[in-house]
Structure 1
Amino acid sequence: MSKSALPARHEHAKPEEEPAPIQAARKAANQALEDADLYIEKGTRQFIHTALALFCGGFATFALLYCVQPMMPIFSEAFGITAAKSSLVLSVSTGLMAIGLLITGPISDAVGRKPVMVVSLFAAAIFTLLSAIMPTWEGVLVTRALVGLSLSGLAAVAMTYLSEEIHPQHIGLSMGLYISGNALGGMSGRVISGVLVDFVSWRVALASLGGLALVAAIIFWRRLPESRHFHPTPLRPRTLVNGFTQHFRDAGLPWLFLEGFLLMGAFVTLFNYIGYRLLGEPYHLSQAVVGVLSVVYLSGIYSSAQVGSLADKLGRRRVFWAVILLMLGGVVLTLFTPLPLVLVGMLLFTFGFFGAHSVASSWIGRRARQAKGQASSLYLFCYYVGSSIAGTLGGVFWHEAGWNGVGLFIATLLVGALAVALHLARLPALPLNVKAAAR
């Protein structure tokens, strides 16, 4: 039989189908391309769920961190310790939190944002419940140290998650809502524990806050959308060193780290020593009234969201220096004697601080192109180091020159922060990788 007589089997044969693994890989690649453009938009169900989850996470973080502050005199009485030793119940938490920030951010770059934050919140709630049943002071300190270390996981990663998943036009607003939760948590933790210990033991008060944090952790876990823009980075020492090097070579990130140090240092210094002034001449306010003045935090809850939204519209460069200038004006007002002026000054100062922190936080996420979790960790590390160092130095100025000395110290920090903000405003903008991105 000739070749021409052979049936042309191959001319119309169907092409072989791709093996199943290749089809699955192709489908996953196509889905990844589709997801690349799916940022969470303002007004959507996902945005509402994200805002609720991060608000609850921020609330729980700072409620658990600062709830022990009003209980320090009670710890002194219960365990027969000095005030200095009692203060360790907060110091060990903030200290371990600062150290943890350098660890949990890189871990999130390797294993993912949401898993690290969920584990962190549940762990902090559980360690708080354990601290309520510790029979010895040493046991309380160990569990409080673990609370601080656990909370670093959410504090370091939340800003990174928002910068990756929220549409750049709405990052400022979403960051502001998260920081609103921080402010409300910091205030509520102090107020709730301070009121409860008048009616129940410190153990019941601490356990109640641990239970509240556990509820917040469940809401966070159930409502926070999974990451769509996360790309894992292997957790290797060389990778960490490269990340640090890259961030400090950036034209803007080191200055933003410095801003965290200066702004938080100024904020903590004011609230560490304003109470001493109001308890003394010429005001003689009671301790209860001075404690109630923490309601000025409410202005921060409002400003963090509103200033963040304004920065989305006008640009961070135009808004950042303005809110720092507002802080400086608030400090100046506290130098006058009339009590209404002092209170207005505190209000303006708090409004400006939370607004500035909101803008700086969102700016970190925009400038860090890689190892975003590490960048957020560095910012918050400087933030808490500023709290520790400046808060202590402020006491030197108080003892040497009273409130005028403290006000001068805070003003010096803010003048430095203002100079840095003006420098940042002159930096060339980064190229945008999405449509209609933020400034």
Structure 2
Amino acid sequence: MNILKLLIANRGEIARRILRTCRQRGIQTVAVHSEADRDLPFVREADEAVCIGPPPVAKSYLNMDAILDAARDTGADAIHPGYGLLSENGEFARRVQEAGLIFVGPSPEVITQMGDKVTARRRMEEAGIPVVPGSNGICDLSEASREAARIGYPLMLKASAGGGGIGMEVLRSEADLEKAFASAQGRAQAYFGDKTLFMERFIESPRHVEVQVFSDGTGRTLHLFERECSVQRRNQKVVEESPSPSIRPETREALCRAAVQAAKAVGYTGAGTVEFLVDSEENFFFLEMNTRLQVEHPVTEMVTGLDLVALQLDVAEGKPLPFGQDRIESGGHALEYRIYAEDPERLYPSPGTLKTFAPPTGEGIRVDAGVESGSEVAPYYDPMIAKCIVWGKDRDEALARSLKALSSFRVEGIKSNLPLLIRVLEHPDFLRGKYNTGLLTKLQSNKR
């Protein structure tokens, strides 16, 4: 079934990214937006736009009834959830399908399974994928204390239903556990509606490497190589690159093979990402599977030449992937820099009117932005306003182009993290490609 009209249940730069592919394919589009976003570019660029509520996400972008009503009223026959918001909500995917619409993503059952971190760990163990030693779901402190003694400190305390680094706590002692447990449960309940926690052995200074996978309805599952995602703040990614600059070829091959195995084990369809932690000996462990398009998908597009949104639409329409694994090649090197409206020192959001937004241009430079000069950056949403993606024939060329691009990127009227990104780019460990998830902490400590 061909998609004729697509409703995009998201906002900002990812909405514009999906719109771009739809225009190329001749698909009509519907944007949904909050009252705060009515003047943003994605609203203007869609063929139709529907306001679905006031600024808070719970009353707009998480309002399933309003989104489904907008799809019905505009005659949309499919919904693309983008990333974040409702993209990994199995209940939303189920309701979309029950309404007779195409959901551009995996099945509701797979989303639910992989969205629960404890269930996902169990499925990966059954499939023979290495996982970090850890616990099942935990709901009370006494059980947590017993599990902590069994696994051994240091530990990472996480929300079972969580994601995006929200609420993670590193525990190095029983006292840390007693101090953190109640507040972690409170955040888990507030953000995800589920207070269940779990614990994993904390791997000191790992690298965070993920693999892009794609599956169609014929049983074919392919990988599109890996991305290095170790530059993080508060467990959220800031810089990503492909290929990883430091892992050995045999580790790369093993990671990609394990990611394909993981996707097959759960009957996956569409675009997904399998995330791993890699220790100093290049042992790797399953971290989670994101059942959606990733923020960092452009680096994969830049090195493979593929349009991942177009492939998502193909699979959603029931078409097989148009190539096999042997046809996918990775060429050159790409890096993505997330541009945040935030204080580069304190890393606090910096909402306000964007007086000037002048992104760089030039060979090998792509900017995916949700804003333009004059846009209002609202305080209600994630502060990422754009992504600067840079490609070069090798990493050295990509780094040189990156420094030129970030240095010429003009953002005025609000604070941005551009100075921080340039400091990352100039750091010796980053330049050598020998860095881990502790890089930003080291950089911030040296600044002080």
Could you say whether these structures have the same fold, taking a TM-score greater than 0.5 normalized by the shorter chain as the test? Answer: no
Q: Decide which structure has greater helix share.
A: 1
Q: Decide which structure has greater strand share.
A: 2
TM-score band by shorter chain is under 0.3
Q: Could you tell me the TM-score, scaled by structure 1's length?
A: 0.25
Q: Could you tell me the TM-score, scaled by structure 2's length?
A: 0.25
Q: Rg larger in 1 or in 2? A: 1
Higher relative contact order (Cα pairs below 8 Å, separated by 6+ residues) = 1
